[in-house]
Structure 1
Amino acid sequence: MKYMYLIFCLLISTLFTINAQEIVSPNKKIKVIVSQKEFNEKPYGQVYFKILYKNKLEYIEVMPNSPMGIYREDQQFTNNLKFVGESKMQEINQKYEMISGKRKLCANLGTEKVFKYVNSNNKPINIAFRVYNDGVAFRYEFTEKTDSLINITDESTTYVFPPATNRWLQTYTESYEDFFPFSDTGKSDKDKQEWGFPALFKINNNPVWVLISEANISKNNCAAKLNNATNPNEYKVSYASPRDNFKQTGVKTNLPWRSQWHTLIIGQLSDIVESTLITDVSEPNTLTETNWIKPGAVSWIYWAYNHGSKDYQKVVAYTDLAVEMNWPYLLIDWEWDAMSNGGNITDAANYAKSKGIKPVIWYNSGTSWLEPTPVDRLLTAEKRAEEFAWLNKIGIYGIKVDFFAGDQQDMMKYCIAILKDAAKYKLMVNFHGTTVPRGWARTYPNLMTTEAVYGAEWYNNKPVLTSKAAVHNTTLPFTRNVIGSMDYTPVTFSNSQHPHITSYAHELALSVVFESGFQHFADRPEAYINLSAEPKEFLKNVPVTWDNTKLLDGFPGDKIIIARKKAKQWYLGGLNGKDELQTLKINFDFLDVGNFKLKLIKDGLDDKSFGVEVIKVKKGDILNIQCLPRGGFVAVLEKLSTMKN
């Protein structure tokens, strides 16, 4: 038996040869090894990639050999590839500015290499890799030119993880409105082992995290999801499934063609939260004029009444709330086309403008859930032109478009067409009931925010958020909100259909912890107007877009402390995700030299009261804050001026 085993090992070694190339990040911490396994010395085989991360002095294997490849209806590019060449290593070094998001000044800094292959029919395919200091991106490229449409149907791309890897994954749903529960098995209680992006992994007992998503989707792409039905530790990329009235699988396109960028943000938890990799790899801003794009806080009518905006008097009340709270925008939600009780949509827009408030209005995309009106005003370029011209005429500044039908190619085309056409009429956009962010906020900066989250709106629909909110809120900053603005509709103190059990300070902190270019504050006017002076003043002034973001402490589902900078001030938000008292510790090492005044608003004696402190701190100080169960805090840091002798 021993000799048979040795013969078997020898046979295997002759069947496979490995052709390996390395790409390393600029800071040398991340290394990608691309290899090809060839069967029995034949030149055709499967391409694999492996990822290593340097922790202190040694490299840790983050992802073992993981298969690559893509299928077309006419032929495959999977286990039948032959290596024919590679590009020179190229430095990617591009600085750009974001209008909204976690960081204003960003750097697309990485190392790129393109590997060239042909399949057994001698048809070419390239695989382009970029390795960044905080992650890896790769895409497939078909370089030949065709006049006829080619159907690209699926991928064999699979992310392989070591056993016992911890993970926080959302079961795939087209609305991306679900939770990210912890698992160390990768198994789902649903029929399908399908998962949506982004997907968070912690590699065994190592201090290395990976967040998988995708970016730079164009009209020639569909969105993808993950499936680990074959092996719980192997996550295969799958394209959007056909739907009833759209039978297409995958993408139909002329060649040449590029896939979306497959992205893996890699590093410590702070690297994950602070990363801008999704916009780094996306196409630059396509708009020549952007000074009309202004992120801001919004008063929103729907949440408190679980209904639309057909009552003119309620629209007036929320306009007055925006004035009271110094919020620049008012969102008039569904049913505005049936507005009565004293005025119509034009009257409402005129009232808002008379008070210095900019109105935004809601649309049904006309592709999915068709009951809420107005429906079918945006489906074609001609209809959009007519509607957007009318919006300009009555003084509307943005649109919220809801109820898209899924992740198929036609929905990607539709979203991009809306963004382009809205920009022609200087309209900002909020997408709801749609796919997660995939880099469009850089390419089309009039995209202010996207829902694709199980947000506070769900207090209206089911009781489940009541008990899960604290854990969920302390998971989202490490998952969904990493990849782009998130329209959670936070900071609600009163109850809608189902109650809160998060503290008032926890709710207040969501205004900092959650990033969104349009931050919709959804509660009743009296809930904000009757706040005590300090939290009310905080909500009047808290920014919605940031110059810089830093994770100070945290763990998914447990706690988070995040610091965001705007001009010369730092805003801090902290959340306790536990159902018990927890002390959150702020380490002020992130500060510059000098003394700072910290104004702290934290949990009071009970979950519906606040405590306020003003403290002097400096770099290197540590402050312990005791939080109630499901509690939290906010703080504002301002540097104290120094007097010269």
Structure 2
Amino acid sequence: MKSLFLALSLIFSSVGYAQQILSPNKKIKVVVEMQQAGQGGSGQVHFKVLYKKGSAYIEVLPSSPLGISREDQQFVSNLRLIGEGKAVAVHDKYEMVTGKRKRCENFGTEKTFSYKNPSDQPLDITFKVYNDGVAFRYSFPNRKDSSFSIIDETTAYVVPTGSERWIQPYNQAYEDFFPFSTTGTNEKNNNDWGYPALYKVNSQPLWVLISEAGISKENCAARLNNKENKNVYKVSYPSAKKKLLGGAVSSLPWKSQWHVMIIGELADLVQSTLITDVSEPSAFKDTKWIEPGSAAWVYWAYNHGSKDYKKVIEYIDLAVKMRWPYVLIDWEWDVMSNGGKLEDALGYAKSKGIKTLLWYNSGTDWLDPTPVDRLLTKDKREKEFSWLRSIGVSGIKVDFFAGDQQDMMKYYIDILEDAAKYHLLVNFHGATVPRGWARTYPNLMTTEAVYGAEWYNNNSILTDKAAAHNTTLPFTRNIIGSMDYTPVTFSNSQHAHKTSFAHELALAVVFESGLQHFADRPSAYYNLSEGPLNFLKGFPTTWDETKLIQGYPGEMIVIARRKGKLWYVAGLNGKDTPQTLDLNLKFLGNSEYALQLFKDGADTKSITSETKSIKKSGTLQIQCLPGGGFAGVVSSL
């Protein structure tokens, strides 16, 4: 009894207070507590997250520090709790133009904790605890005319020791692999890691995906760093770079971006819309002009832009034959030759009923593909966007952004706002990962921020890693927003494929993107047999519903997406050995259905087609080659 009393005394002396916030379904519990001297600092706020499995709560995030610092003062240690808001129910319904689900609905509990630092300055920390995750952010609520700098956060995520994790080493284009690790070791980039960060809670069937959302012009974009402790991932801000400031500069009041943790089983993560749930609603009401769709893309096959008029015409003709509404005219369109100029290509596309998208250099000073420096200022954008509308262009692809600094965040948002005025769709390349802007600015169709098929042009690494990489992306990068991987390539560009033709066909379903750029040369599509060819014709790029059927990062995925009354299904084998994938049909209704299935044939370059009757109660076992896969369409009988 004496030892128990001593243990309890230590607990209560180290924790000043502890408040709980529960999700509406009671599955997720957040505990906010004040750590006292000798236990992680004096008066420092910590939080931990638990998830209910059966009758018990499992700790998915051990006690982790909170705090933020301005240039003039810190809000980390010696904080005093001065008030707590009431727990408020959150219930939001909205529709997305792009994404994994058209109609979104979320339920959560919101609570704000108010603190003061030793200088008697206020800090609020607001938590939203949803049925599928947790979001929190900092705010300075007082008003002051002068500007100030936010230089750092103490926020960190303490990952349980030994956790399996998949996180990409940071680079400003977010083009890297998500290597499997149990140690968190990163020899690159000073132990900087890019969002999103996925980890599995030890032996439990529970997963956490960490990212952020709701970034405004008042924020920079953050990353993670575990240099000090391999299991502690600290939120860190980008440093100053050339003309770009580090941290964030603003006036009061100020709010940070939302720090987001999606939590649950793998299906909960894949199907979650939490990134857009916590983002601001649409900035404009009229979205009827926004039309997502598939596009033919000239760059991949030739590792070059759109300088050659005759090749551009070939891709316009491909879009016509495949019933894809768009063609992307890539870099060097301003010096187009060999039979015609840009205006000729645009006129030809219009005569064929094909809409056009044009590429732009963001204005970088380290790469100079043209056109360059036409968007850097508002006056330049207004002039360029007005001209684009006058010549009938439907959208832009903007490439080569310079980093995650606040100036770049403002630049992204300025482009989206100005493009919307002229009814232009936007695709960001060489860019930061999605952070919820697709809800606020629904003309944002997709973002690259992925080690995609374009890398077959650059070196041979993807040849051996593609299958495992393609089965990791649905559990990491693609969860947080549309992903312009530029998939479904059957021929070889500069370096060879090892994935099968059926695997490549399946990427159209597995990878979600509001603009799906089909990257291969026209002949590669024309040479497909009738079934796979028709499967790709008029392919949808927006979905009413998404269901994860089966999967594990780097090993396999089976997924189903609904468009109207049709279900599109697909599976990928991420291993270099044969594997059987299970297509459980419980996502269907009680009717009878027909499945048109395309799967691996005798070798990687053959696809077998078959049609069969199926029911909700059934499960299909589909044999896949190493790096193989399958795709199909389910329709009611």
Match of 1:383 in 2: 380
Match of 1:541 in 2: 538
Cα-Cα RMSD: 1.7
SS in structure 1 opposite 2:327? strand
CA distance, structure 1, for counterparts of residue 463 and residue 481 of structure 2? 25
Match of 1:272 in 2: 269
- The residue type paired with residue 627 of structure 1 is C
- 1:343 CA drift (Å): 1.1
- 1:435 CA drift (Å): 0.2
SS in structure 1 opposite 2:152? strand
Match of 1:32 in 2: 30
Match of 2:512 in 1: 515
Q: Deviations over 1:481-531 (max 9, x none)?
A: 000000000000000000001000000000000000000001101001111
CA distance, structure 2, for counterparts of residue 13 and residue 285 of structure 1? 46
SS in structure 2 opposite 1:386? helix
- The residue type paired with residue 82 of structure 2 is V
1:40-439 aligned at under 5 Å gives the runs 45-190=43-188, 192-246=190-244, 248-439=245-436
SS in structure 2 opposite 1:174? coil
Aligned length: 635
- The residue type paired with residue 223 of structure 2 is K
Percent identity over the alignment is 63
Go from structure 1 to structure 2 and tell me whether the alpha carbon gap of 1:10 and 1:217 turns closer, same or farther (over 3 Å shift).
closer
1:455-470 aligned at under 5 Å gives the runs 455-470=452-467
The question of whether the paired residues in 2 share the 8 Å contact of 1:15 and 1:39 is answered with no
- 1:40 CA drift (Å): 8.8
CA distance, structure 2, for counterparts of residue 205 and residue 10 of structure 1? 29
CA distance, structure 2, for counterparts of residue 211 and residue 374 of structure 1? 38
TM value normalised by structure 1: 0.96
- 1:153 CA drift (Å): 0.4
SS in structure 1 opposite 2:19? strand
- 1:103 CA drift (Å): 0.2
Bigger mean CA offset, 361-370 vs 268-277: 361-370
- 1:144 CA drift (Å): 0.7
Go from structure 1 to structure 2 and tell me whether the alpha carbon gap of 1:590 and 1:7 turns closer, same or farther (over 3 Å shift).
closer
CA distance, structure 1, for counterparts of residue 5 and residue 107 of structure 2? 48
SS in structure 1 opposite 2:347? helix
The question of whether the paired residues in 2 share the 8 Å contact of 1:44 and 1:82 is answered with no
Q: Deviations over 1:128-180 (max 9, x none)?
A: 00001110000001001111111000100010121111100100000000000
- 1:10 CA drift (Å): 9.5
Q: Deviations over 1:514-557 (max 9, x none)?
A: 00000000110100111110000000032111000000000000
- 1:15 CA drift (Å): 5.3
Match of 1:623 in 2: 620
The question of whether the paired residues in 1 share the 8 Å contact of 2:223 and 2:236 is answered with yes
Q: Which runs of 4+ in 1 moved over 4 A?
A: 5-15
- Gap runs ≥5 in structure 1: 641-645
Go from structure 1 to structure 2 and tell me whether the alpha carbon gap of 1:326 and 1:191 turns closer, same or farther (over 3 Å shift).
closer
The question of whether the paired residues in 2 share the 8 Å contact of 1:108 and 1:281 is answered with no
The question of whether the paired residues in 1 share the 8 Å contact of 2:324 and 2:539 is answered with no
Q: Deviations over 1:217-271 (max 9, x none)?
A: 000000000001111111000011221332x220000110000000000000000
Go from structure 1 to structure 2 and tell me whether the alpha carbon gap of 1:16 and 1:327 turns closer, same or farther (over 3 Å shift).
same
Give the alignment partner of residue 587 of structure 1, picking from 584, 588, 611. 584
- 1:206 CA drift (Å): 0.8
SS in structure 2 opposite 1:102? coil
- The residue type paired with residue 95 of structure 1 is K
Q: State whether structure 2 residue 468 is matched by structure 1 residue 477.
A: no
CA distance, structure 1, for counterparts of residue 592 and residue 9 of structure 2? 69
CA distance, structure 1, for counterparts of residue 429 and residue 411 of structure 2? 13
Match of 1:643 in 2: none
SS in structure 1 opposite 2:517? strand
SS in structure 1 opposite 2:320? helix
TM value normalised by structure 2: 0.98
Q: State whether structure 2 residue 562 is matched by structure 1 residue 565.
A: yes
Go from structure 1 to structure 2 and tell me whether the alpha carbon gap of 1:15 and 1:60 turns closer, same or farther (over 3 Å shift).
closer
- 1:370 CA drift (Å): 3.3
SS in structure 2 opposite 1:116? strand
- 1:16 CA drift (Å): 2.6
The question of whether the paired residues in 2 share the 8 Å contact of 1:170 and 1:199 is answered with yes
CA distance, structure 1, for counterparts of residue 518 and residue 156 of structure 2? 40
Q: Deviations over 1:171-191 (max 9, x none)?
A: 000000000010001111325
Bigger mean CA offset, 537-546 vs 440-449: 537-546
- 1:12 CA drift (Å): 5.5
- The residue type paired with residue 240 of structure 1 is P
The question of whether the paired residues in 2 share the 8 Å contact of 1:17 and 1:39 is answered with no
CA distance, structure 1, for counterparts of residue 168 and residue 61 of structure 2? 20
- 1:367 CA drift (Å): 2.8
CA distance, structure 2, for counterparts of residue 265 and residue 285 of structure 1? 22
The question of whether the paired residues in 2 share the 8 Å contact of 1:44 and 1:120 is answered with no
Match of 1:574 in 2: 571
SS in structure 2 opposite 1:144? strand
